[in-house]
């Protein structure tokens, strides 16, 4: 092997994930034009390795392979190796993830792909052990040298297959949007529900907030008490510990077992943002104080661990942290041994162990316990013969002791970049928490965060950036950035009724139509037409742990149309929905946010306008009450906004309940207004 001068180029990057690899002996390059052009110029295979900073197996593969000089020598001699942070470049991640899924039937991170110099993939997978990795890379390099035509042929076939995956066949005949479209969808869905543990019959278990938000609304509007019970049971199980942190608040990314007990310990901003919204809605329906606590404690966690003084939110906390021996270990920050708990809690240990199952149920591995409850606080207070308040006071005292002890441990690593779309989701979470609990500081937090986005993540031509770190914004925004920022602006309007947010939303909508439009389907591409083209241009329609950018955009059109009275917006929402309707039947869970939109067209949907000096006070009732099928507008003064125009009557505070622009007679009380909606 000839002498090699190291040229790892990641040291100037801002992504914490890329910087973790900046001192590997591998000659990593970032994903940029220069790296891609170098592969073409030198006629070398591309090796594209994708991960993110909170990913446990990414760390394992780095330690086993990328830090190994022997592995690095094979990579450096034969490949242009490109490291990608999937959170910075969701477009690159998705294109190559589709390829890996087409090749292997599965996906995940780390994701490693070998591609021809022009970027077309020929081989890939997820985590590889060191010897497997060395062997595969050596064989592929040899094949490229001796029989390149075989790789070219395979790349062409795969490219064709991937293009087929991308085709969205717009139906020639538009369907009538009525409630019969839901027939059959729910029966198939119900067959995979886990009624014992909540969630779905499988492990690992992901939270999937958009699935449960839809089921909650559907159950409520269809008066399906069994389905409502299942959704509530799921949210209970998720929040009773394990994946929910009872000491600091906040949720881990998923559970490795079927009972939500042992988390994959990383905490992501996007999960916590969405779950704040979900639990706020649940609180509106039930008035259960536990759900309010979950909202408050999760927001405390976000403020303590994922926010800087500028108002921006960070991306994630790592799964791994240093244990007592100075070694990095998954979950080390969060778990306890029985001996540790006895020593800290002394006489209160028995009480605590009854609540948090320090027994054969709560044990994880190596005598370590992950705190989990199996009963509601109401059931526990009856069992322990304590009032609800006393039980909470006792628990808070003991949690404080454990928090204090835990603060002495090494904290998990922080991914301190800010992602525009995730920050916007967090703003929506704060708006929903404010509406449910009417705590003004939550609305202030949301307003500070949107101010941060508008001041730091908007380019000179009003286009968005995707990421921010250390005072620098970079990467042109993706559809998801626009979709979630517009959604946040609409949520801010419905929380505080400042019309300037609607003006910004309309500006961003115009940019989306300019840069992302797909004329054939009425849907939008994930990447801007201004960006370098990838091997194919994706249209993101499936709702996953984060709803699809297109489904969020369709909701934005609908809501903005209802607030402004612009029917073209509502028609665009319907056109987008019609384009995906044929896909929904087979796998409804992947289209839950679209199904939520479908409910707007098949069930009553209300435009609520409140005018007069008392408008803000009257609006609080509508904010606190669970009415998912509405837009809400309020004003004390004359407004040109479609929903409010010419509705102000001097000296009176009035509530107008409207459907499709047609309004019933205005009323003066919340109760009278509710009667018009039933």
Give the residue-averaged pLDDT of 628-654.
95
Strand order in the sheet with 472-476: 418-419, 465-469, 472-476
The yes-or-no verdict on residue 1 having pLDDT over 70 is no
Query: What pLDDT is attached to residue 4?
Result: 52
Q: What are phi and psi of 264, to 5 degrees?
A: -85, 110
Q: Which of 105, 30, 94 lies closest to 525, judged by CA?
A: 94
The residue-averaged pLDDT of 56-72 equals 95
pLDDT at 562: 97
Q: Is the pLDDT of residue 252 over 80?
A: yes
Residue-wise pLDDT for 563-594, tens only, equals 999 999 999 999 999 999 988 877 899 999 99
Span 638-660, mean pLDDT? 94
**How much is the pLDDT for 592?**
97
Give the pair of three-digit tokens for residue 412. Answer: 């998990």
Q: What is the mean pLDDT of the chain?
A: 94
d(CA 108, CA 470): 29
CB 455 within 8 Å of CB 473: no
- Find the helix or strand (DSSP H, E) in which 379 lies: helix 377-383
- Which residues lie closer than 8 Å to 485 by C-beta, 6 or more apart? 420, 421, 424, 453, 464, 508
What is the crossing angle of helices 148-166 and 90-104, to 10°? 110
What whole-number distance in Å separates Cα of residue 493 and Cα of residue 481?
18
Query: What mean pLDDT comes out for the span 234-248?
Result: 96
Render pLDDT for 529-571 as a digit per residue (tens, 0 to 9): 999 988 888 999 999 999 999 999 999 999 999 999 999 999 9
What pLDDT is stored for residue 241 in this prediction?
82
pLDDT above 70 (res 6): no
Beta bridge partners of 112: 49, 125
- pLDDT tens for residues 148-189? 999 999 888 888 877 776 667 777 778 888 888 898 888 889
pLDDT at 184: 84
Domain borders along the chain are: 10-166, 334-406, 606-676
- Weakest mean pLDDT among 22-31, 155-164, 610-619: 155-164
pLDDT reading at 232 higher than 60: yes
Q: State both tokens at 542.
A: 């499936």
Q: Which band of pLDDT confidence, cut at 50, 70 and 90, is reported for residue 359?
A: very high
pTM: 0.94
* CA atoms within a 13 Å half-sphere pointing along the CA-CB vector of 126: 17
CA-based nearest residue to 301, from 350, 222, 248: 248
CATH number for the domain formed by residue range(s) 10-166: 3.40.30.10
Task: Report percent pLDDT > 70 for the chain.
Answer: 99
pLDDT in tens, 118-132: 999 999 999 999 999
Distance CA 521, CA 524 (A): 8
Is pLDDT of 240 > 70? Answer: yes
Averaged pLDDT, 439-454: 97
Please state the rounded mean pLDDT for residues 215-219: 97
pLDDT (average), residues 318-326: 85
- pLDDT above 70 (res 436): yes
């Amino acid at each position: 092997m000839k002498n090699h001068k190291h040229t790892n180029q990641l040291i100037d990057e801002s992504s914490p994930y890329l910087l973790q690899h900046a001192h590997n002996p591998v000659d990593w390059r970032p994903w940029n034009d220069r790296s891609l052009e170098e592969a073409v110029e030198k006629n070398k295979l591309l090796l594209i390795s994708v991960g993110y900073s909170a990913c446990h197996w990414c760390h394992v593969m780095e330690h086993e392979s990328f830090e190994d000089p022997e592995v690095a020598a094979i990579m450096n001699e034969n490949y242009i190796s490109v490291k990608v942070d999937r959170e910075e470049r969701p477009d690159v991640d998705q294109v190559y993830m589709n390829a890996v899924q087409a090749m292997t039937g599965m996906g995940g991170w780390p994701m490693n792909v070998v591609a021809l110099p022009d970027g077309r993939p020929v081989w890939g997978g997820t985590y590889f052990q060191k010897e497997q990795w060395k062997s595969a890379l050596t064989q592929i390099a040899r094949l490229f040298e001796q029989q390149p035509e075989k790789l070219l042929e395979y790349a062409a076939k795969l490219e064709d297959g991937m293009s087929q995956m991308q085709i969205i066949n717009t139906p020639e005949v538009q369907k009538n949007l009525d409630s019969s479209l839901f027939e059959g969808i729910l029966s198939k869905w119900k067959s995979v529900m886990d009624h014992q543990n909540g969630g779905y019959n499988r492990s690992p278990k992901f939270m999937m907030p958009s699935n449960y938000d839809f089921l909650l609304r559907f159950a409520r509007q269809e008066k399906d008490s069994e389905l409502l019970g299942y959704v509530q049971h799921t949210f209970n199980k998720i929040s009773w510990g394990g994946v929910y942190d009872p000491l600091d608040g906040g949720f881990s990314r998923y559970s490795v077992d079927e009972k939500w007990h042992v988390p994959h310990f990383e905490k992501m901003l996007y999960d916590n943002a969405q779950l704040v919204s979900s639990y706020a809605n649940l609180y509106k329906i039930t008035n259960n104080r536990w759900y309010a606590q979950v909202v408050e404690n999760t927001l405390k966690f976000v403020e303590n661990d994922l926010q800087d003084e500028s108002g921006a939110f960070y991306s994630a906390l790592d799964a791994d942290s240093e244990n007592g021996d100075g070694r990095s270990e998954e979950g080390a920050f969060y778990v306890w041994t029985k001996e540790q708990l006895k020593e800290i809690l002394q006489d209160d240990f028995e009480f605590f162990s009854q609540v948090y199952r320090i027994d054969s149920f709560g044990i994880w591995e190596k005598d370590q316990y992950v705190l989990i409850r199996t009963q509601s606080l109401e059931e526990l207070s009856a069992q322990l013969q304590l009032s609800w308040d006393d039980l909470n006071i006792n628990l808070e005292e003991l949690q404080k002791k454990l928090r204090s002890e835990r603060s002495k441990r090494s904290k998990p690593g922080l991914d301190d970049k800010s992602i525009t779309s995730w920050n916007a989701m967090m703003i929506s979470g704060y708006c929903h928490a404010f509406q449910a609990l009417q705590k003004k500081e939550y609305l202030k937090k949301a307003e500070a965060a949107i101010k941060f986005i508008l001041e730091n993540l908007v380019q000179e031509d009003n286009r968005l950036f995707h990421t921010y770190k250390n005072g620098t914004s970079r990467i042109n925004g993706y559809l998801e950035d626009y979709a979630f920022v517009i959604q946040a602006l609409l949520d801010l309007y419905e929380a505080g009724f400042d019309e300037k947010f609607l003006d910004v939303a309309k500006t961003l909508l115009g940019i989306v139509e300019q840069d992302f439009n797909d004329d054939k389907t009425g849907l939008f591409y994930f990447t801007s037409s201004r960006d370098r083209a990838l091997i194919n241009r994706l249209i993101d329609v499936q709702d996953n742990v984060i709803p699809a950018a297109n489904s969020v955009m369709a909701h934005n059109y609908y809501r903005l149309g209802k607030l402004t009275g612009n029917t073209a917006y509502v028609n665009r929402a319907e056109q987008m929905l019609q384009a995906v309707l044929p896909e929904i039947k087979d796998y409804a869970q992947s289209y839950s946010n679209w199904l939520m939109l479908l409910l707007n067209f098949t069930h009553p949907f209300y435009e609520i306008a409140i005018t007069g000096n008392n408008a803000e006070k009257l609006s609080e009732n509508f904010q606190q009450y669970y009415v998912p099928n509405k837009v809400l507008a309020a004003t004390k003064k004359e407004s040109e906004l479609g929903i409010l125009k010419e509705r102000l009557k001097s000296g009176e505070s009035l509530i107008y309940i409207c459907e499709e622009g047609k309004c019933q007679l205005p009323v003066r009380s919340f109760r009278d207004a509710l009667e018009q909606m039933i």
